[in-house]
Amino acid sequence: LFFPCRPCCLEALLAEAAAPGEPARPCPCPLPRGDTSLSRLVRLLLSARRSLDLCIFSFSCPQLARAVHLLHRRGVRVRLVTDAQCMGLQGSQIGRLRQAGIQVRHDQHSGFMHHKFAIVDQRMLITGSLNWTIQAIQSNRENVLVVDDAECVKPFLDEFEKIWEEYNPAHYSF
Amino acid sequence: LFFPCRPCCLEALLAEAAAPGEPARPCPCPLPRGDTSLSRLVRLLLSARRSLDLCIFSFSCPQLARAVHLLHRRGVRVRLVTDAQCMGLQGSQIGRLRQAGIQVRHDQHSGFMHHKFAIVDQRMLITGSLNWTIQAIQSNRENVLVVDDAECVKPFLDEFEKIWEEYNPAHYSF
């Protein structure tokens, strides 16, 4: 998937995922509904059935946050790692997701936790240059690669588990 | 490849690539020589025989610049796309590479040219979260994926050619 992509309305997609089978109220917004890199990314995330492991440097896109929240409500185990410096910035969705009961861990280094990857059901890797921000999605040249080859996914699974353990709050020193 | 990696000396590797077969003068620096994510990245780049297409948001790492310069001197066709806002920052290697005769093009948008990928000989894609900076290499959590599956590489080749043409100086409007 490549970005930037044009702004698009994801209401129908998110409503269908929230209440499958129920007729969605038509959204009155003037944005187009078509297929975009963002709608495809959201669809891939919403395909999670068991787990979603996220390592996202900067996360401020409300639509992606809604998709993640929805998976959590649906019972998918969501674990989210982010960067300590980014998570407090204006517009960050991390606080909202935490309030919703999603487990969040962050680094405590001066270096950045600069990954931007997601692993769906421990088998599909979604990774690239894209931070989960509206600026990145709508204005930047970005790429996202979707990989389900186990040999490629495994090192990212291992990296996630390593970081998840390293950023366990029990180890925080501040 | 995952980062951060410890600082390492690449003199022997770069000297061998600059003058294959000639005995390299031992480097007096105290850094270790071992195998690191950075040395593996440099080796992958140095494997280029015909072309190196680079789309790099921020490029300030002198060792990676030396590898790219060396390929250019060796007759490999190097094309470099970068971000207009980043390329003038302190420590940027873009000016040096331009002075060496390497073709560089950049965006003219307010959005970022945020890709960080390289394509070696139009067949190996090296992509991820890693900007080519010392901070990213030595301090950040970063990933770089190496892919030679033609189906994955092709969209990046197309994206590169599209950007290369779009950023043709003949189209600059400022």
pLDDT in tens, A62-82: 999 999 999 999 999 999 999
Residue A12 lies in a domain: no
Residue A117 lies in a domain: yes
Residue A139 lies in a domain: yes
Residue A44 lies in a domain: yes
Contact A147 B143 (CB under 8 A): no
pLDDT at residue number A26: 85
pLDDT at residue number A174: 65
pLDDT at residue number A74: 95
Residue B89 lies in a domain: yes
Domain limits for position A43: 34-169
Q: Nearest 5 degrees, angle CA B80-CA B84-CA B85?
A: 135
Residue B9 lies in a domain: no
pLDDT at residue number A133: 96
Chain center to CA of A54? 6
- A173 pLDDT band (50/70/90 cuts)? confident
Name every chain B residue with its beta carbon within 8 A of the beta carbon of A142.
Answer: 114-115
Nearest CA in chain A to B156: A143
- A110 pLDDT band (50/70/90 cuts)? confident
- How many domains does chain B divide into? 1
| pTM, to two decimals | 0.93
Pairing of strands B116-120, B51-56: antiparallel
Residue A73 lies in a domain: yes
Contact B159 A128 (CB under 8 A): no
> How large is the average pLDDT for residues B87-97?
93
Identify the H or E element spanning A104.
strand A103-106
Residue A3 lies in a domain: no
pLDDT at residue number B174: 65
Q: What is the mean pLDDT of chain B?
A: 94
Retrieve residue A17's tokens: 């995922």
Contact B4 A111 (CB under 8 A): yes
What is the C-alpha separation between A129 and A126, in angstroms, rounded?
10
- A34 pLDDT band (50/70/90 cuts)? confident
pLDDT at residue number B74: 95
CATH number of the domain bearing residue B148: 3.30.870.10
